[in-house]
A and B are shown apart, each in its own frame.
Chain A
């Protein structure tokens, strides 16, 4: 360093100016300087990127959280909207029916096959008794088989032990609607009376006896099964009600002799 300094001083003294020494220094220093500047800029850029990345990451987490929250809210809103629509339809039916009814909410299900039932949050305390018919806007669900103080168990139409008196609306062919172990609903009728029963026919409650009001939709005939019996034929029904989706019901506590078929959707 001393030598270099002396050399530089000598060059300046002999040459009479600082130009040459400055040039020499510049030649040596410039690449280093530019390298340092580049490193400095790179480091600054890296830091800025790191800061950006950090804030983007935080922002991303916040946005994800918000997105999640909005999704939950949207789901809740959708659920509420659907529930609202279902309750509205139930209310419309309740207002139209010439019967006293109590609305109930499904709080339990038994779908194992041996027994098919729903449990609702209405019971003896609400005036519900055994054999109370249970309906939804699409048609008949079943009947109450156990009424406890605050809950009731409803036997569904497709329960193997369920039997309901019914008629084919178009032909007035009388028969019995029964559930079976496979979860299907069948209409059993006298073969000699049911020659004209055809797929698409609506089967409604007959109103015979005092249990079910007349005209509650039960299901539509899907096909006729002639099991070789001379006496009876069976029609497989598509139930008017999708039992797995029932969430609110009307328990019919009053009686009427009026045919209520017109109060239900004709495509049910």
Chain B
């Protein structure tokens, strides 16, 4: 059941990314919804689930986006695994750590992706990518992550009140 849910969330995130999110960018920058979902899944269900979710989400993005298939599967899988490992350490359960963590993880994922793409002679320079893609997207991810965390907290609060 959990695996099915993870799969649904991950595939749904990928579909959302290539349809709704792609046309709702700000200044040409779009958030990386599959990465945000990967991080949220890793925070909740641990490194294995985070890794699996990241891998599937990345693979889906690679396959539908027209890039090299496997690059995002690897970087997002690692991001999910890494975030899952950090749960319980460095106050990662605290939202004040989660949001900057998501931003830093987005930057790290971008750098990892760039390094991997260098092996395939990706033409854009790191400076350009950092300025136009990695940093703006990381900040956007942070914003969306904040909204997700707030929504989750509100949902938990409502659920507790209903039980009381």
Contacts and interface: CB of A to CB of B under 8 A. Distances in A.
Contacts of B18: 108-110, 119
**Which of A112, A180, A181 has its CB near the most chain B CB atoms (within 10 A)?**
A112
Interface residues of A, number: 23
Those 6 A-B pairs whose CB atoms lie nearest each other, nearest first: A113-B133, A109-B22, A153-B66, A110-B65, A117-B66, A182-B132
Interface string A177-221: 010111100000000000000000000000000000000000000
Contacts of A182: 28, 128, 131-132
Nearest to A108: B18
A106 B137 CA distance: 24
B28 A115 contact: no
Interface in A110-148: 110-115, 117, 119, 145-146
B32 A112 contact: yes
A110 B22 contact: yes
Interface in A136-166: 145-146, 153-155, 160-161
**Which of B30, B65, B122, B129 has its CB near the most chain A CB atoms (within 10 A)?**
B65
23 contacts: A108-B18, A108-B22, A108-B64, A109-B18, A109-B22, A110-B61, A110-B65, A111-B28, A111-B30, A112-B32, A112-B65, A113-B133, A113-B137, A114-B67, A114-B129, A161-B123, A178-B123, A180-B124, A180-B128, A181-B124, A181-B129, A181-B132, A182-B128
B64 A110 contact: yes
B132 A108 contact: no
Contact of B129 (A113, A153, A155, A161): A113
A34 interface: no
Interface in B129-157: 129, 131-133, 137
Interface in B24-47: 25, 28-30, 32
Given A113-B129, A114-B133, 6 more contacts: A109-B23, A110-B65, A111-B22, A146-B66, A154-B66, A161-B123
Contacts of A180: 124, 128, 132
A163 to B, nearest CB: 8
A178 B64 CA distance: 22
A244 interface: yes
Contacts of B25: 111
Interface in B101-146: 113, 117, 122-125, 128-129, 131-133, 137
B132 A113 contact: yes
A153 B125 contact: no
A38 B122 CA distance: 90
B94 interface: no
Interface in B62-102: 64-67
A173 to B, nearest CB: 22
Given A160-B122, A181-B129, A182-B131, A115 B65 contact: yes
Interface string A22-61: 0000000000000000000000000000000000000000
B19 interface: yes
A183 B30 CA distance: 12
A244 B25 CA distance: 10
Interface string A63-96: 0000000000000000000000000000000000
Contact of B28 (A113, A114, A119, A154): A113
B30 A181 contact: no
B122 A108 contact: no
Interface in A248-267: none
